[in-house]
Amino acid sequence: MELIITAVFVLGYACIALEHSIGINKSATALITGAVCWGIFMVAMPDKGAVTTMLSEHLGSVSEILFFLLGAMTIVELIDAHEGFQAIIDSIRTRKYATLLWIVCFVSFCLSAVLDNMTTSIVMVSLLRKLIPDRNKKLLFAGMVVISANAGGAWTPIGDVTTTMLWIGNQITVVNIIIKTFAASMVCMVVPLLIVSARLKGQPIDLHQNDEKAKQNSTTSEGNTVLWIGVVILIMVPVVKTITHLPPYIVMLFGLGTLWVVTELIHRGKNSEDKDPLTVAHALRKIDTPNILFFLGILLSVASLEATGQLHYLAEKLDKTIANDSAIVILIGLLSAVVDNVPLVAAAQGMYSLEHFPTDSYFWEFLAYTAGTGGSILIIGSAAGVAAMGIEKIDFFWYLKRIGWLALLGYFAGAATYILQVALLHT
C-alpha cells in the first residue's frame, strides 16, 4: 500500500511539473492525486474509522492554511481595487531595475519576519503587478520575492509555520533564534540578489507605464484608508496570535470581516455600478480559486504520506544512513523543496526528544533555517512560492531554470554561514 501511494504521489507531482507540456491544469492533477492517495489508504486499511479520523485531522490543518490564504488574498485584492498600492508606487523614485530589486527584496525580507512568508509573497507580488510593466522582469522579481520572503521568515518564530512549530514545541526560543539565524538568512537572500542585480545594472524602468485605468471608482482617501486598515490587519495577525493563541486563520477571517464592514460603510452612498468593483464580493470573484484548490490537493497528497508513515520512515532512514547532524538537516531542507516542510519538521520533532537535542541546540536552530529556506528551490516547495505561482501564473520549469539555481546557491551559502558562525563563536 505504502509503495502504491508513494508512486501515485510521484506520478501526480510529475504531472504538476509538466502542466504546460501535457495541457492539464495543475489544480486538477493535485486534487486527483490527493483523492486517489487517500482512497488507496482507505481501501487498504481494515479500520475505516481510523482512516476517516486521520483524514479529518489533516483536512482541518490544511483548511487552516486555505482559509488564511483566502483571507489574505481577498484583503490584498480589495486594496488593489481601491488603488491603495498607488501611494507606495508613488513613493518609489528609482528608475533602475537593480535598485528597485534591492528595495523589493529587503522589504520582503523584513515584512516576512513580521508577518509570514505567504502573506508577504501575496502582498509583494501583487505590488509588482502595479510596479513593473515588463512580463519577464516581473516574473524575475516575483521569484526573488519568494527567496527573500522565505529567508525573512526563517529567523523569527512567527515568520514561517515551521519556526512557529519549533517555538511552540519548545525547541527554540525567540531571542536565540533571531540572533543565531539572522546572518544565515540574510546571506541566503543577498547571494542571489547580488547575482541578479548585477545582470540588471543600468537597465532603466518606467514604473508608471502600466498604471493607467479606464475608470477610477474610488478616491485617494478611500484607497489610503483601505490600504492602511488592510496593512494593520495583516500585521496584527501574528501579534494577536501570540497574545491570544488563536489560530492565524481565525484572526485573518476576523480582519477580513472587519475590512468588509468598513468598505460597505465607505461606499454605502454610491450606486451599484460604482460600488460593485470595490466590494469584498467582487474581490472574492477575482482571487485565484484554482490556486487554492491546487494547494488543497497538494497538501492532502503530502498528508497521505505522513498518515501512512512514509515521511517518518524517511526521517528515520536518514538518521541511520547519515551520521552527520548537519548533513541530515541540510538534506531535510532540500527535501522541503519537494515535500511540504511542515510534516518534515513534525517528523523531526517526533524523532528527536528535548533530551536528545535540548532547547536552542544547534540541530533545532539549523533546522529552522533549512526548513524555512529550502522550499525556495522549487516554486511549489513553499507557501510563498505557491502563492506567487497562482498570482503571476509562473511556470514550474521557468522557475526551476531561472530562479531555482539561485535559491540553491543562497541556501548553501546561508547554511555555510550558520555552520561557520557556530564554529567561530562556539555556540
Divide the 427 residues of the chain into consecutive groups of 10 and give the mean pLDDT of each group.
Answer: 89 81 86 93 90 89 81 83 75 82 93 80 84 88 95 86 79 89 96 94 66 56 85 80 82 91 88 84 83 82 84 74 86 83 72 83 93 90 82 87 95 96 82
Whole-angstrom distance, CA of residue 7 vs CA of residue 104: 40
Residues 6+ apart with CB under 8 A from 270: none
pTM strictly above 0.85:
no
Predicted pLDDT at 427: 61
Q: What single-letter DSSP state applies at residue 357?
A: S
Predicted pLDDT at 145: 95
Task: Indicate the SS3 state at residue 96.
Answer: strand
Predicted pLDDT at 22: 86
Predicted pLDDT at 155: 92
- Residue 64 CB neighbour total at 10 angstroms: 16
Predicted pLDDT at 261: 93
Q: What is the DSSP string of 62-89?
A: HHHHHHHHHHHHHHHHHHHHTTTTHHHH
> Helix count (H) and strand count (E) of the chain?
22, 0
Full domain range(s) for residue 116: 2-425
Predicted pLDDT at 164: 76
Number of structural domains (the chain) is 1
Question: What residues are paired with 204 via a beta bridge?
Answer: 96
Longest dimension (CA), the chain: 69
